[in-house]
A and B are shown apart, each in its own frame.
Chain A
Amino acid sequence: GESVGLHLPTLSVQEGDNSIINCAYSNSASDYFIWYKQESGKGPQFIIDIRSNMDKRQGQRVTVLLNKTVKHLSLQIAATQPGDSAVYFCAERGRTGGSYIPTFGRGTSLIVHP
């Protein structure tokens, strides 16, 4: 039988299109959020971050939006390129015991077609 847990949400786009990847987070007390990109066989790589006192932050070709009311993050990638194909994770930093620990969501697979 098929295991739902093995299938990542997937977003397929054409090269040059804009991509929007969404993430729902769980802890309303989380103070810091990060997007990571993970290519096959590699560890996650930092893309962009945002503090909880902001609602938008822009980087090079990427923008992160934070909606604390509905506990939602999005990552927008402009002019998507084949090299952007990877799995994207959002992470929230919340309190675990006496420390702040980044906790990762499940991830979205982005496939960019040339």
Chain B
Amino acid sequence: DTGVSQNPRHKITKRGQNVTFRCDPISEHNRLYWYRQTLGQGPEFLTYFQNEAQLEKSRLLSDRFSAERPKGSFSTLEIQRTEQGDSAMYLCASTSRASDVDEKLFFGSGTQLSVL
């Protein structure tokens, strides 16, 4: 257990429905990342927060996706009007920048989304 918690572990939804995932990072970590991973591929960057500020967002991220980190602690990722292509594992990671270089990410176990 890395200390990063994601809920739910699994989500099955019908196409067109909205879904929301939650990530609770390690409490002292100020940086939080969302990645998406499909079968046989490495994690793909979606978005990044430093404290409550969303600093980066992937150009691949459609406007149906939105993420928040309102108090700089937990984060939510919402997908509106889900499509079958959204089926994937959604991973959250956190880190604390102890130096300007080292940045070990601590990942949660992910939320597996299946869109029917």
* Interface residues in A49-99 (C-beta closer than 8 Å to B): 49, 51, 89, 91, 93, 96-99
Once the chains are docked, how many angstroms separate the CA of A96 from the CA of B55? 10
> Which of A36, A97, A101 is packed against the most chain B CB atoms within 10 Å?
A101
Cβ distance B75 to chain A, nearest Cβ, rounded Å: 15
Once the chains are docked, how many angstroms separate the CA of A8 from the CA of B91? 19
Cβ distance B73 to chain A, nearest Cβ, rounded Å: 19
Q: A49-B104, A100-B103, A107-B42 are in contact. Are A43 and B56 (CB under 8 A)?
A: no
Chain A residues within CB distance 8 Å of chain B? 5-8, 31-32, 34, 36, 41-46, 49, 51, 89, 91, 93, 96-107
Closest 10 CB pairs of A and B: A43-B107, A104-B42, A6-B40, A46-B104, A104-B43, A99-B56, A89-B42, A44-B107, A97-B56, A107-B42
Chain B residues within CB distance 8 Å of chain A? 2, 4, 33, 35, 39-45, 48, 50, 55-56, 91, 93, 101-110
Given contacts A99-B50, A99-B56, A104-B35, 16 further A-B contacts (CB under 8 A): A5-B40, A31-B101, A41-B109, A42-B110, A43-B110, A44-B105, A51-B101, A96-B45, A96-B56, A98-B55, A99-B55, A101-B48, A102-B105, A103-B45, A104-B43, A107-B41
